[in-house]
Structure formats: C-alpha cells, structure tokens
C-alpha cells in the first residue's frame, strides 16, 4: 500500500537514510529541507521537497494536510562536546508534533 508520507528532518542524519527507503517502498514522500540545494537533492531522489518553518504551527498544519503519515525527524544534534548534556541530544519541533496529532484526530478511524 502506498502512503503519502510527510518527513521533517529529511536531510539530517536519520532522515537522509529514511527518505530513500520510503521512496523505494513506493511511498509518495514530501520532505522538508531548508536550503535550495538540499531540496534539489530530495527532488532528484524522488521526493517532493518543500521549505516550511517547523516553528510555525499554521504552516506545518497546511504542509501535513492530506498526508497519511507524518514522520518528525527534525532534530538538532550539537557538537559532541555538548551532546550528552541534558537536552543536548535532540530538540523535537512542537508544532510538527501538534500538527501530526491534529491530523490523527481528524482522520476517520
């Protein structure tokens, strides 16, 4: 079954490995990237690349609309010297999580 999959953090350490696997599995992937170069690379890989401010809840809700699955891989991995401090390893985007939650609540069971 092919799903429409929204991926934030698509060009990061994890996302850059997940996106090609989703495409290879036949899913239609919308992938978030900030730079034009990274968006072009995602397009070449077969994804629909977009730029969306993940801290803007309205923009994120618009971006995830119509997708079957939302995968939030957006993180900030600090330099290794700070990686093990409390809260240093990742920073999940609250608006992406809220938009995915809203999307799930709006979907018929």
Give bridge partners of residue 26 from the DSSP assignment: none
pLDDT recorded at residue 55:
78
- Domains identified in the chain, total number: 1
Find out whether 2 and 26 touch, Cβ atoms under 8 Å. yes
The CATH number of residue 22's host domain is 3.40.50.720
pLDDT recorded at residue 103:
57
Q: What is the pLDDT along the chain (109 residues), one digit of tens a residue?
A: 899 999 999 999 899 999 999 999 999 999 999 999 999 999 999 999 999 988 788 898 999 999 999 999 987 655 555 545 555 444 344 455 566 656 555 655 4
Q: Which domain holds residue 85?
A: 4-106
Q: What are phi and psi of 22, to 5 degrees?
A: -65, -45
pLDDT recorded at residue 90:
43
């Amino acid at each position: 079954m092919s799903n429409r999959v929204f991926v934030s953090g698509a060009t990061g350490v994890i996302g850059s490995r997940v996106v090609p696997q989703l495409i290879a599995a036949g899913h239609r992937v919308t992938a978030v990237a900030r730079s034009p170069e990274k968006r072009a690379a995602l397009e070449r890989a077969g994804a629909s690349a977009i730029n969306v401010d993940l801290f803007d809840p309205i923009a994120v809700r618009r971006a995830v609309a119509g997708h079957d699955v939302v995968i939030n891989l957006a993180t900030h991995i600090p330099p290794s010297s700070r990686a093990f401090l409390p809260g240093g390893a990742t920073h999940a985007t609250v608006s992406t999580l809220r938009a995915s939650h809203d999307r799930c609540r709006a979907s018929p069971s």
